[in-house]
């Protein structure tokens, strides 16, 4: 990377706005955190670097919710409001609805307005202003240049623990033995046109002949509820999406694979399907995990561990797409476990939480907790926790877990005993 020259950046940065709670990143965790904090009467600003909310679910076209055995809280509300036909009668059921990423994007925009959350789009977190054990403000690149956003509480929902790392929180990346993360995948959609289509294979793409030639060595796609939309999860690029060189390679290689896989499908059962949607960015499964007050482990998951400070529950499988570029996927059944509040807390900061896929968890544990419904659940708990810390004028680590649970109940979260 570059040479050894460093530059000191000294700049007076104006404050654009102040809020009670600043949420960084508008994916599943960030949107839920913003809503839950706002419902507690807090002024919330949600900073999102792209033009849309929903995170990987919209930006990366990951437009299917994996089953977690618990349809509760804000996630349940979202299902009721956008995908009513899938709403289960009880909370502890598994559903895996496929949805339109465009509809979810629209829904989340409007939902934030209704919930009184101020969203700043095209607002990319650059740096945290830390004083001792507190974050005072975050520095953000906006369409008008660089500004500070002040807050009393901060929730990092960037998926990459970007704010945590900048603030000096220890973290790790990928597998213990070699630091390799799960590979990236560009998910795309095809549409049934009802008649044979022209098969396209742009120059430089691969001509896959058999299933074994495919990047994952398998077929992985879902037909959406009879409307002729095929969601395809079949590309695979090794690398860590939080590294400049890896993401650069992945953005071009995954697109090459997307065209190649679409062409393979057109020759193998999907003769009537055109390539209808390719999202603007490759999907990133795994990058950084903070070292928090508790680290969720493979044993916790396999043993179905329960915690007094539970904030989310899931029975989603261990699901590790091979980090070393091989074709396999390690899938192992999980009966159900709790994720404790402490996985979102750092040892170092008193007004800061991390929610979503970059919580404190091992490589194997994160492969199960990373799916969207669980990230919505974690975000919802984080937003309430930040509000309680303000109400009780205490550190984020010292909030009452009873009060957290009571507030989650008030926001329609139900935990299995």
Ligand X SMILES: Cc1cc2nc3c(=O)[nH]c(=O)nc-3n(C[C@H](O)[C@H](O)[C@H](O)COP(=O)(O)OP(=O)(O)OC[C@H]3O[C@@H](n4cnc5c(N)ncnc54)[C@H](O)[C@@H]3O)c2cc1C
Residues of this chain that bind ligand X (CB under 6 A): 24-30, 47-50, 55-57, 59-60, 62, 64-66, 124-125, 157-160, 162, 185, 187, 233, 283-285, 356-357, 370-373, 375
Task: Compare residues 136 and 409 and give the one whose CB is closer to ligand X.
Answer: 136
- Number of neighbouring beta carbons within 10 Å of residue 244: 8
Rounded alpha-carbon distances, angstroms, from residue 70 to 91, 145, 314, 370: 5, 42, 6, 14
Task: Compare residues 124 and 391 and give the one whose CB is closer to ligand X.
Answer: 124
In the complex, the smallest distance separating the C-beta of residue 405 from ligand X, rounded to whole angstroms, is 22
In the complex, the smallest distance separating the C-beta of residue 196 from ligand X, rounded to whole angstroms, is 29
In the complex, the smallest distance separating the C-beta of residue 402 from ligand X, rounded to whole angstroms, is 27
Tokens of 315: 């029975």
Task: Compare residues 158 and 263 and give the one whose CB is closer to ligand X.
Answer: 158
Rounded alpha-carbon distances, angstroms, from residue 354 to 24, 51, 299, 386: 10, 22, 22, 11
In the complex, the smallest distance separating the C-beta of residue 392 from ligand X, rounded to whole angstroms, is 26
CB contact set of 193 (below 8 Å; sequence gap of 6+): 228, 272, 273, 274
Q: Taking the alpha carbons of 284, 287, 291, 296 in that order, is the dihedral positive or negative?
A: positive
Cα separation, 210 vs 97, in Å, equals 29
Task: Compare residues 243 and 403 and give the one whose CB is closer to ligand X.
Answer: 243
Give the pairing of strands 310-314 and 229-232. unpaired
Nearest to 311 by CA among 403, 410, 404: 404
Helix (H) / strand (E) containing 289? strand 288-290
Task: Compare residues 83 and 187 and give the one whose CB is closer to ligand X.
Answer: 187
In the complex, the smallest distance separating the C-beta of residue 156 from ligand X, rounded to whole angstroms, is 9
Task: Compare residues 61 and 263 and give the one whose CB is closer to ligand X.
Answer: 61
């Amino acid at each position: 990377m570059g040479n050894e020259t460093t530059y000191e950046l000294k700049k007076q940065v104006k404050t654009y706005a102040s809020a009670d709670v600043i949420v960084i990143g508008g994916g599943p965790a960030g949107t839920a955190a913003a809503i839950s904090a706002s419902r507690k009467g807090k002024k919330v600003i949600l900073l999102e670097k792209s033009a849309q909310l929903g995170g990987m679910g919209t930006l990366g076209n990951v437009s299917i919710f994996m089953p977690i055995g618990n349809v509760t809280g804000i996630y349940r509300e979202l299902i009721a409001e956008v995908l009513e036909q899938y709403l289960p009668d009880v909370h502890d059921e598994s559903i895996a609805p496929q949805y339109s990423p465009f509809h979810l994007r629209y829904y989340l925009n409007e939902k934030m307005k209704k919930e009184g959350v101020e969203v700043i789009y095209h607002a990319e977190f650059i740096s945290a202003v830390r004083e001792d054990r507190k974050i005072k403000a975050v520095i953000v690149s906006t369409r008008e240049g660089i500004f500070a956003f002040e807050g009393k509480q901060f929730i990092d929902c960037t998926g990459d623990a970007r704010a945590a790392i900048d603030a000096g929180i220890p973290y790790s990346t990928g597998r213990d033995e070699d630091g390799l993360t799960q590979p990236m995948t560009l998910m795309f959609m095809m549409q049934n046109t009802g008649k044979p289509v022209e098969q396209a294979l742009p120059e430089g793409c691969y001509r896959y002949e058999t299933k074994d030639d495919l990047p994952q060595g398998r077929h992985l796609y879902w037909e959406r509820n009879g409307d002729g939309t095929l969601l395809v999860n079949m590309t695979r690029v090794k690398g860590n999406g939080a590294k400049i060189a890896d993401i650069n390679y992945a953005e071009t290689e995954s697109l090459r694979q997307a065209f190649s896989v679409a062409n393979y499908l057109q020759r193998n059962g999907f003769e009537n399907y055109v390539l209808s949607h390719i999202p603007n960015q490759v999907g990133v499964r795994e990058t950084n995990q903070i070292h928090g007050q508790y680290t969720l482990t493979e044993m916790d998951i396999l043993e179905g561990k329960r915690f007094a400070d539970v904030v989310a529950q899931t029975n989603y499988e261990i699901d590790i797409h091979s980090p070393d570029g091989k074709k396999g996927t390690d899938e192992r059944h999980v009966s159900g476990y709790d994720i404790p509040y402490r996985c979102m807390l750092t040892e170092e900061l008193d007004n800061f939480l991390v929610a979503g896929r970059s919580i404190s968890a091992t490589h194997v544990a994160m492969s199960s907790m990373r799916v969207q419904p669980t990230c919505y659940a974690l975000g919802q708990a984080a937003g309430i926790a930040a509000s309680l810390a303000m109400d009780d004028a205490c550190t984020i680590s010292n909030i009452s877990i009873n009060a957290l649970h009571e507030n989650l109940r008030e926001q329609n979260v139900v935990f299995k005993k």
